[in-house]
Chain A
Amino acid sequence: MQRIALAFFITIMTAASSFSEVVKPSEVVFQDGAVMESLTAQLGDPASGRKIFMNRKQGNCLACHMNSEMLDQSFHGEVGPVLDGVADRWEKAELRGMLVNSKMMFEGTIMPAFYRDSGYSRNLKKFVGKTILSAQQVEDVLSYLLTLKEN
């Protein structure tokens, strides 16, 4: 009985702590378009980030950006800049800011805000109150972008 209670207690603790460690979309703090603080306690996973980058239902970054590291994928878009060497051009916090809400960095950009859950007009019902990517997915994509270096 004691063992079960203890296990229960630990489960609650971890659930609670992992919950509070995720920064909510409305609580993200921007500094000149950049976001200093990680959105999660867990480190980003670049392999997962790479998949999210190409996935049409998730980041779909490839729709707009050409990326030479991903030539195994066909159809790279031309709407945004080529992302080769993007980690040489931008700081980690700046890239995080762009992912959370690129409009804070590039006024009037076509690039969607991936971690914003309100302020939309005529949003489809099933996406109301939702972000395009989760906090962890943003950190995963960020860690993948940081591998895109040329120098």
Chain B
Amino acid sequence: MNSWKLLMASTITIAASIAAANEDAKLSIEGLDIPVRVSVQSHTPEIDEVRSGWTFRKSETQDLQRDDFDNPAFVFVDQGIDLFDKIDGTAGKSCSSCHSDMNSFKGLRASMPRIANGQIETMEDLVNGCRTERMGAESWKWSSKNMTAVTALIGLESRGMPIKVKMDGDAAEFWQKGKDVYYARVGQLDMSCANCHEENYGNMIRADHLSQGQINGFPTYRLKNAKLNSIHARFKGCMKNIRATPYKEGGPEFRALELYLASRGNGLSVETPSVRN
């Protein structure tokens, strides 16, 4: 190797180390320790350790999630509090008219999505269910500002709790469907979620450090679009990137995929609201 190549190679090494995540960092928020790595899950034999997307981010991004004052998602959580107290709809009620204690939502995020009446029920369904059936208000769009603000507020109540999503019994059929979606190759780039998030996590794909695509931190504040992002909106973005026609937000495929992905993160902690690129 000539000296020019050596010089350039070392420049690349430096650039790479700046871009690299602090993969071994520990996460603690407001005195609460949040495990970001858990050992093998029997149903994901391809992965030896389940890791939060947080472990793949640069240290500056990681720091933003360590402190709720620095975490930009909390601007939206505050809006969620206002929305929760706001009267809306023909019944003249706000969420807090009936849910006076936010503490009652503790643990809910960790068990979502779940099966109710033979269907997959997501956090968005619960919020819209109360709005349309109990408040006489309009339903909110799946990934709207109001919806993500309120789902972030509710999810926060479970922060630090281990994810424990049911995958057997009446969930089994949906879990299998979600798994099929996860491994299906789609789009002109002809890739599956697994190609990037199972086979290549830890590798750089151009400027992006690939994670396992876990959903334990949603809704997620992304530096890229400076807002809260729903789980289904993220799925949509990844599908478009591989030139695939995304499934519909709230549709059966994304619901099943959400259930399956949540189960791949069983044992990880709820990090809502997380900060990502």
Report which A residues bind B (CB closer than 8 A): 56, 60, 62-64, 68, 71, 74-79, 110, 112-113, 120-125, 127, 130, 132
Contact = CB atoms under 8 A, between A and B. Distances in A.
Q: Closest 3 interchain pairs by CB?
A: A71-B8, A63-B206, A75-B207
Determine chain A's interface SS by DSSP, over half rule: loop
Contact of B188 (A60, A78, A110, A112): A112
Contact of B196 (A110, A123, A127, A132): A110
Contacts of B195: 110
Interface stretch (B61-69, B148-156, B170-178, B197-205): B197-205
Nearest to A125: B245
Interface stretch (B9-17, B88-96, B160-168): B9-17
A64 B203 CA distance: 9
Contacts of A68: 5, 8-9
Interface of B: 5, 8-9, 11-12, 15, 19, 184-191, 195-196, 199-200, 203-207, 210, 239-240, 243-245
Given A68-B8, A113-B190, A124 B199 contact: no
B243 A76 contact: no
B188 A71 contact: no
Contacts of B191: 110, 112
A122 B206 contact: no
B188 A123 contact: yes
A87 B9 CA distance: 21
B190 A124 contact: no
B13 to A, nearest CB: 11
A71 B240 CA distance: 29
A122 B203 CA distance: 26
A127 B243 contact: yes
Contact of B187 (A71, A77, A124): A124
Contacts of B185: 121
B5 A130 contact: no
The listed residue with most A CB atoms (<10 A of its CB), out of B8, B15, B187, is: B187
Nearest to B11: A71
B201 to A, nearest CB: 11
15 contacts: A74-B207, A76-B204, A77-B203, A77-B204, A110-B191, A110-B195, A112-B188, A112-B190, A112-B191, A120-B186, A121-B185, A121-B187, A122-B239, A123-B243, A124-B244
A63 B207 CA distance: 8
Given A110-B191, A122-B187, A124-B240, A62 B206 contact: yes
Contacts of B244: 121-124
B204 A78 contact: yes
A78 to B, nearest CB: 4
A132 B188 contact: yes
A110 B195 CA distance: 6
B168 to A, nearest CB: 29
B91 to A, nearest CB: 41
Nearest to A113: B190
